[in-house]
Amino acid sequence: MISKLQAAALAAVVTLPLALTGTAQAGATFDGVKQKGYVQCGVNLGLYGFSAPDDKGKWTGLDVDVCRAVAAAVFGDSEKVKYTPLSAQQRLPALQSGEIDLLARNTTRTLSRDTANGLNFAPTNYYDGQGFMVSAKLGLKSAKQLNGATVCVLPGTTTEQNVADFFRANKMNFKPVVIEKNEELHKAFFSGRCDALTSDASQLAAIRAAETQNPNDYLILPELISKEPLSPAIRQGDDEWANVVTWAFFAMVQAEEKGITSENVDASMTSPDPDVKRLLGVTAGNGKALGVEENWAYTIIKQVGNYGQSFERNVGAGSKLKMPRGQNALYTEGGLMYAPPLK
């Protein structure tokens, strides 16, 4: 106990925000958000397609849309969000300490984060997997040909462990080069310091689209070596807040399944389908149960769009990334996106 205290005494200096949060405010995130009048949302420092400021300085992306959907549900206005750009290392302490209300920053849902780190996860908004990108010149076809390779790895994620696991499982060796800053890491890879760059496949596609002259010079190998269910996260201890975040996302998925888009949502208000009526609040009940306005889902669809629209706009065909829907298609189309009944 003593050593723990001494260690904490040292650490207290650097984690002053955590120490000064005060003990009274635990829980009740939802009340706090309503009182402030905006959602404080933790996002990536800049990951094209997921959360990055556009040329007008407005945050856009698949993760940003989760923040906007929650704000739309709570306040009826998707713009009532304040963004906190966070590095991989900063993100968990920022959420734990109460600095942010919601973390939508391509964060993989894992057991230890769900337990030891004191987090709760909302439904996965992007099913990803870790892959390898190599120069097309090498003529590689499979990640299993990477024995002896030097691999550039971004720290602060499960990435380092996954790549070590993959090479151990296949009885191969590699040398990691771990650089904290994205730009420097990508520069090291593109200058040839590493044979391969490893990250989530979506990120590799984003890097290839944004940072190469000719994207065809680089190849993303077919193996995905991990499951990366990227999910928004909240602190433990406020179940009402967890409900709002969870169902705000499910509403977007449900809207896609029902074919309701931001363009036709007004026309859908007169739909005879009881599911649609409940979703859009024509039949009251869902809003009261969540503690928000009855038209909460209508506002989300009107202002942010359904999940399919958000996907295409940010990472799909309508973006530079051109990611296929794959696992992120609706379950009706062979994907994993499935919203439980909203009733």
Partner 1 sequence: MSKLVQALNSARVRGWLYQALFVSGTLAVGWYLVSNTLTNLSKRGVATGFGFLNREAGFEIGESLLTYAASDTYLKAMVVGLLNTLTVSAVAIVLASILGIVIGVARLSSNWMVGRFAAVFVETVRNVPLLLQLVVWYTIMNRLPSPREALEVVPHVFLSNRGLKFPTFVEHAGHGWAFLALVLGIVGAVLVVRYGRKHRETTGKPFPTLPLALASVVLPPVAVFVGSGAPFAFDVPVLTGFNFEGGAAVSPEFTALLIGLSVYTAGFIAEIVRSGILAVPHGQTEAGLALGLSPAHILRLIILPQALRVIVPPLTSQYLNLTKNSSLAVAIGYPDLVSVTNTSANQTGQVVEAVAMMMAVYLIISLCIAGFMNWYNRKVALVTR
- Annotate 108-122 with b (16+ C-beta within 10 A) or e (fewer): bbbeebeeeeebbbb
Q: Does 8 bind partner 1 (CB under 8 A)?
A: yes
- Interaction between residue 236 and partner 1 (CB under 8 A): yes
Please, which of residues 92-131 interact with partner 1 by CB under 8 A?
Answer: 92-93, 96-97, 112-113, 115-118
- Span of 52-60, 171-179, 278-286, 301-309 interacting with partner 1 by CB under 8 A: 171-179
Binding segment for partner 1 among 50-58, 60-68, 185-193, 295-303 (CB under 8 A)?
Answer: 185-193
Helix axes 182-190, 201-211, angle to 10 degrees: 70
Is the separation of the CB atoms in 136 and 219 below 8 Å? yes
Contact in structure between 25 and 98 (CB atoms under 8 Å)? yes
Q: Kindly state whether residue 164 participates in binding partner 1, applying the rule CB under 8 A.
A: yes
176 binds partner 1 (CB under 8 A): yes
Helix (H) or strand (E) holding 17: helix 16-20
Q: Which stretch binds partner 1 (CB under 8 A): 71-79, 176-184, 316-324, 329-337?
A: 176-184
Q: Of 12 and 317, which CB lies nearer to partner 1 in the complex structure?
A: 12
Q: What is the 3-state secondary structure (H, E, C) of 235-257?
A: ECCCHHHHHHHHHHHHHHHHHHH
Does 290 participate in binding partner 1 (rule CB under 8 A)? no
If binding is defined by CB under 8 A, does position 89 make contact with partner 1?
Answer: yes
Residue 213 binding partner 1, by CB under 8 A? no
Residue 20, classed as helix, strand or coil, is helix
Q: Which two tokens stand for residue 172?
A: 């191969």
**Is residue 9 within the footprint of partner 1 (CB under 8 A)?**
yes
Distance between CA atoms of residues 147 and 303, nearest Å: 49
Binding of partner 1 by 5 (CB under 8 A): yes
13 HSE (CA, 13 A, CB side): 4
Q: Under the criterion CB under 8 A, does residue 136 sit at the interface with partner 1?
A: no
- Name the burial class of residue 62, with classes exposed (0-12), middle (13-18) and buried (19+) by CB atoms within 10 angstroms of its CB: buried
**Residue numbers at the binding site for partner 1 (CB under 8 A):** 3-5, 7-16, 18-23, 26, 88-89, 92-93, 96-97, 112-113, 115-118, 146-150, 155-158, 160-161, 163-165, 167-168, 174-181, 184-185, 187-188, 191-193, 195, 235-237
